Structure 1
Amino acid sequence: MLKSKKSKMLALLVTLAVAGSVFAGCGSKSTSGTASGKKVIKVNIGADPKTIDPGLNNSVEGAKVICNAFEGLTNLDKDDKPIPGVAEKWEISKDGLTYTFHLRKDAKWSDGKPVTAKDFEYAWKRAADPNTASEYAYQIYYVKNAENYNKKKATADEVGVKATDDQTLVVTLEGPTLYFLSLTAFPTYAPVRKDIVEKNPKDWANKAETYISNGPFVMKEYKPKDSLNFEKNPNYWNAKEVKLDRIEFKTLENESSYFAAFKSGQLDMLDKPPAQETPNLLKDGTAVAYPYLGTYYYNLNVSPNAENVNAEAAKVLKDVRVRKALTYAIDRTALVEKVTKSGEKPATSFVPSAASDSNGGKFKNKEYYPATADVAQAKKLLAEAGYPDGQGFPKLEILYNTMQGHQNVAQAVQDMWKKNLGIDVQLRNVERKVHLTELNKRNYQIARDGWIADYNDPMTFIDQFTTGNEQNHPGYANAEFDKLIKAAKAEADATKRVALMHQAEDTIMNDMPFIPLYEYTEVVCMNKKLKNVHVSPLGFFYFRDADLEK
């Protein structure tokens, strides 16, 4: 017992030393706060973003930076409803297909140049351009001919977004889209400057001098694997209402390190505290659990590339009976109660239970499998696939990005599959940038993933799995599923649209190219002096209205 305590004390000292080294340039006391007369905060985003280019980003950590550096046609208020952003007003045609946005004349870029409608037209067409290779290109597909342009069936001039003058943007949609105004607040729809991007297309977003933005904060320093430092943008049209002077976005991935930094006052805000600490943090008010519209899941590589990664694994994972056996063998209730411990809900579908439908109500999810393991059904399916009690089954690998929480989940699933199915699984962890690259290349067998809603509608969860979609990490392809998604997007009748989305989810959950594990909660630790931060259920932190009390 004495040896155990001694080891824990040594581990704590090492953790504190690591945390201290991360902020070594700050001195013995944090520079957060108002002592210097400046309102400075340090916020951990959990990883160094692969990119903070609005047209290329596909990660939550990148979006947390982008949504504070850029502003779209609309903003989201504290209730996540669209409000005027760069567009001060707009009109919508009776058929819901044409939006005319009127930009405010005082909107400026961080270098003082005016923000124009042409900046939005350029940014949207750039995201849809096949040469850009944006993983979020499909998000622009709501705009007429954007998908055809991305698939080289139309020209840029045929895409339904036109700047008729500097202050007027006319957008024509493929079909009525009830949540389109919310979409225009999403990072992919943010404006970017053509002269800036095309002068240095690969690196413009990596340097403070070229990261020209139009939001409340502007980049001052980018220190890879350390921090992205922003200051109040004096050219922002509503700068007089921005109260913070500086935000330092820290990129610590190790939970023990960033939690120690928070406890010592070197961080003002973080999410995902260590699982073992979370119950007490929530109980004493140090942490708050915010609504979070997202699903944590494992991808199963069913793409043609799976053969190149591991032929044996590809063979077994192509069998839907195997994929379902793996799903039924997981006890999700035990996972959230004994492993994650942050108020998560077992996921028995892919679309989260909190998702709204087109009629303003809940989507009314189905339970495609029980929250607890159905070991008998799992064993039956595996035996039918030719592997009774796991005999002859090849060793699989789970890929996950560095973070203790992901490791804990992977180890728990590894144990469940061994105990319930008799199969062996090895684990491989990599840093976040490598993880994203491996997902994009489909260079894995089984891989951790998570999807946070881009807007509150089931479509944001299911349309990513259409054939050829860059976000379709399992490499899933089903023509009937594609047809249902296309029909739902074109359906103006809300009730019929919901029915089509349910059919689409039925189809993909029957094919099971992924294994949903749980519905997220957003557990956030925050300096009690930090006020009016908007913690969005879409996974973003908005500091536009935030303040730091003296």
Structure 2
Amino acid sequence: MKKKLIALTLTALMGFSVLAGCGGNQAAEGDEAAGESTEPKIVRHNLGADPQTIDPALNTAVDGAIFLVNVFEGLCKTDENEKAIPGMAESWEVSEDGLTYTFKLRDAKWSDGEPVKAQDFEFAWKRALDPTTAAEYAYQMYYLKGGEAFNSGEATIDEVGVKAIDDKTLEVVLESPTPYFLELTAFPTYFPVRKDIVEADPEGWALNMETYISNGPFKAVEWSHNDVLKVVKNENYYDADSIQLDGIDFYMIVEESTGMSAYESGEIDYLEHIPTDQIPTLQESHEDFEIQPYLGTYFYVFNTTKEPVNDPKVRKALTLAIDRQAIVDVVTKGGQKPASGFVPSGMTLSDGSDFREKGGDFGIPATANVEEAKKLLAEAGYPDGQGFPTIEVMYNTLEAHKAIAEAIQEMWKQNLGINVELRNEEWKVFQETRTQGDFIIARHGWIGDYVDPMTFLDMWLSNSGNNDADWFNDEYDKLIADSKKAEGADRDALMLQAEKLMMDANITMPIYYYTKPTLLKSYVKGVHFSPLGFVFYHNATIEK
């Protein structure tokens, strides 16, 4: 999403006081006797941590995105195959050259009853591109004609290729044909926001639930930070009659063991951060447990400007010296696969072949290649680790991240003779630390924003707000730019070259390809889990 993959954090909640009184979906005694329940149908979803932001233009994390896709709606939605279907736009036309899209908006309302207009999309998209907004995902809008030029200060806002022709007609002009553009319009960065609402309080509108106006099936009513974010059914949603839930309570229990206890005691209905030592038993015997597909890569990112990892040989040595198979077998235990490249399996090329299979493994074995790692470290000036400074690995607070970091710390000590210190920060602080480049090595993860290899590749552009490696390469930028203008086999070849270039530079250390172990109460029906990390409650209900 991209949105950055999060592993949800924050100060652990002690006990379950935050859940007390929520009642959830239990029927009152008298209602049960009558065979009916008058309790509202509210799903209790453990989001795990306070989202850093719920502003569609500023969010880059999966936790925020899960919330956003349930309270907002873009021009398109996506179906169960992640393909675009009508959302706020009831129809559209595409020019023969694939550059101009004309969207016709349906009659829809915001949660305060005001009509959704084409101008809301024009404002939102230009706001995301405006350099004063400082949106990390601004590059996701570079598909628009003039988008990159405006964001870099080389064009005016009026030159951006999005324009409201009238209240119900939005014209969009692209830089080049983009086969997944319709799917992009379902991504949170492309969601509409109201100009009058945002400009009345630019810094605070998304923090105050009274001004947090949305256009999706649910609307926010309460945000108790580090506790719960509550949404209820949006009666003004154009398809409100199809929404069966009365609401969703997004809780923020960060400790996996505490979340598990809350699930087992019936105080939450959905959990995805599960203690890894319990996964094998759950997989064998718990009817609520499932491993969902997840198009993402768990990795460590190197700050290529900081010693000693500014040396590519050091980065390669560190990459080769870890045993990925042991990590997924002994630590994570959720059916993950060792990562041999940055783009995960499941992304196809124009001929239908898998990008990962075609791209190869870049010499990264599932188990450690200690001999080659030690050779590279010696060539970098650190034979057997001698003279290598103690380095710090940062991760955001979560038991699973700690366990992985400790395993890697021990592998580097045993295989390379180097010392590593570990430091954790709560999620909001960690995101800022990593974005600002205040680290040497940091935990990272990336879940696809759409089903195409490009979603894993363009984050490393020199002008990408998500390029936490601080790696700038003109050749890479050109490969990505050229691939966005190419089609078919030519486009495939350019993307494969781009991944090889960034992998040869060793700016990241891929560890494994994600899966999503989940627990969902059996009485919650109709939830859609997207392999892109979204959890949709549009068709969900509670049956007891």
Distance verdict in 2 for CA 1:485–1:148, change over 3 Å: same
Separation of aligned partners in 1, 2:526 and 2:26: 15
Q: Which has the higher helix share?
A: 1
Q: 2:120, 2:49 → 1: CA distance?
A: 29
Residue of structure 2 in register with 1:258 after alignment: 259
- Residue 361 to residue 238, structure 1, CA distance change in 2 (3 Å): farther
Return 5+ residue gaps in structure 1 as ranges.
1-15, 304-313
Secondary structure in 2 matching 1:497:
helix
Partner residue, 2:367: 372
SS at match of 1:163: strand
d(CA) in 1 for partners of 2:335 and 2:510? Answer: 16
CA contact 1:32–1:266 (8 Å) conserved in 2: no
> What is residue 291 of structure 2 aligned with on the other side?
289
Q: Distance in 1 between matches of 2:366 and 2:102?
A: 46
In 2, Cα distance between equivalents of 1:300 and 1:406: 17
1:466 correspondence with 2:461? yes
How far apart are 1:32 and its partner, in Å? 3.0
Task: Please tell me whether the aligned partners of residues 401 and 448 of structure 1 are also in contact (alpha carbons under 8 angstroms).
Answer: yes
Mapped partners of 1:404, 1:17: distance in 2: 14
Q: Which amino acid aligns with 1:372?
A: T
- 2:535 is matched with which residue? 541
Q: Secondary structure at the match of 1:330?
A: coil
* 2:374 corresponds to 1:354: no
Distance 1:395 1:379 in 2: 17
Instruction: Quote the Cα distance in structure 2 between the aligned partners of 1:327 and 1:442.
Output: 20
Residue 490 of structure 1 is matched in structure 2 by 485
Question: Does the Cα contact within 8 Å between 1:103 and 1:117 map onto a contact in 2?
Answer: yes
Shift of 1:99: 0.9
Instruction: Tell me what 2:433 maps to.
Output: 438
Q: Distance in 2 between matches of 1:122 and 1:115?
A: 12
Which residue does 1:337 correspond to in 2?
Answer: 329
Tell me the TM-score normalised to structure 2 length. 0.94
Instruction: Note the C-alpha offset of 1:359.
Output: 4.1
CA contact 1:109–1:235 (8 Å) conserved in 2: yes
Letter of the structure 2 residue corresponding to residue 544 of structure 1: H
Corresponding residue for 2:24? 31
Task: Say which of 499, 514, 520 aligns to 2:514.
Answer: 520
| Conserved? CA contact 2:13–2:254, under 8 Å | no
1:415 to 2:410 alignment: yes
Q: After alignment, is 16-25 or 418-427 more displaced?
A: 16-25
Matches of 1:362 and 1:33, distance apart in 2 = 46
Cα distance between partner residues in 2 of 1:159 and 1:360: 34
Asked if the contact 2:13/2:255 (under 8 Å) is kept, the reply is: no
Query: What is the Cα deviation at residue 416 of structure 1?
Result: 0.5
Q: Which residue does 1:506 correspond to in 2?
A: 500
Asked if structure 2 preserves the Cα contact closer than 8 Å seen for 1:32 and 1:42, the reply is no
Using the alignment, how far apart are the partners of 1:283 and 1:77 within structure 2?
31
- Aligned residues: percent identity? 52
d(CA) in 1 for partners of 2:292, 2:336: 11
CA RMSD, 1 decimal: 1.3
- Asked whether the equivalents of residues 327 and 407 of structure 2 are also in contact (C-alpha less than 8 Å), the reply is yes
Q: Give the TM-score normalised by structure 1.
A: 0.93
CA positional deviation for 1:17 = 9.4
Do the aligned partners of 2:100 and 2:171 also contact (CA within 8 Å) in 1? yes
Q: Cα offset for 1:33?
A: 4.8
CA distance in 1, matches of 2:227, 2:295: 28
The offset of 1:277, in angstroms, is: 0.8
Gaps of 5+ in 2: 1-11, 28-36
| Partner Cα separation in structure 2 for residue 168 and residue 115 of structure 1 | 11
Asked if residue 325 in structure 1 is aligned to residue 317 in structure 2, the reply is yes
Rounded Cα–Cα distance in structure 2 between residues aligned with 1:92 and 1:33 = 50
Query: Could you tell me which residue of structure 1 aligns to residue 5 of structure 2?
Result: none
Residue of structure 1 equivalent to 2:388: 393
Distance in 2 separating the partners of 1:194 and 1:55: 13
Structure 1 residues 222-251: Cα deviation after superposition (integer angstroms, max 9, x where no partner) = 100111100000000000000000100011
SS in structure 2 of the partner of residue 203 of structure 1: coil
Distance 2:171 2:43 in 1: 39
In the alignment, the residues of structure 2 paired with residue 464 and residue 238 of structure 1 have an alpha-carbon distance, to the nearest angstrom, of: 35
Equivalent position of 2:6 in the other structure: none
Q: Which shows bigger deviation, 533-542 or 17-26? A: 17-26
Query: What's 1:235 paired with?
Result: 236
How far 1:186 sits from its partner (Å)? 0.2
Native 8 Å contact 2:106 2:168 kept in 1: yes
Q: Distance in 1 between matches of 2:85 and 2:13?
A: 45
Paired residues of 1:88 and 1:102 also in contact (CA < 8 A): yes
The partner residue of 1:529 within 512, 523, 529 is 523
In 1, Cα distance between the equivalents of 2:514 and 2:529?
14
Alignment of 1:157-306 (within 5 A): 157-284=158-285, 285-303=287-305
Give the C-alpha shift of residue 72 in structure 1.
0.2
Aligned with 1:316 (options 291, 299, 308): 308
* Alignment deviations for residues 169-226 of structure 1 (CA, whole Å, 9 cap, x no partner): 1111111111111100000000000000011111111111000000000011010011
Letter of the 1:187 counterpart: P
Cα displacement (A) at 1:418: 0.3
> Which of 45, 48, 51 is residue 50 of structure 2 equivalent to?
48
SS of 2:77 mapped into structure 1: strand
CA distance in 2, matches of 1:219, 1:208: 6
Deviation, structure 1 residue 22? 2.9
| Superposition deviation, residue 280 in structure 1 | 1.7
Shift of residue 442, structure 1, vs aligned partner: 0.7
Give the counterpart letter for 1:282 in structure 2.
Q
Whether the aligned pair in 2 keeps the contact of 1:33 and 1:548 (CA below 8 Å) is no
The one-letter code of the counterpart of 1:154 is A
Contact 1:19 1:260 in 2 (8 A): no
Deviations 1:484-516, CA, capped at 9 Å, x for gaps: 01110111x211101000000010000011111
Per-residue deviation at 1:278?
Answer: 1.1
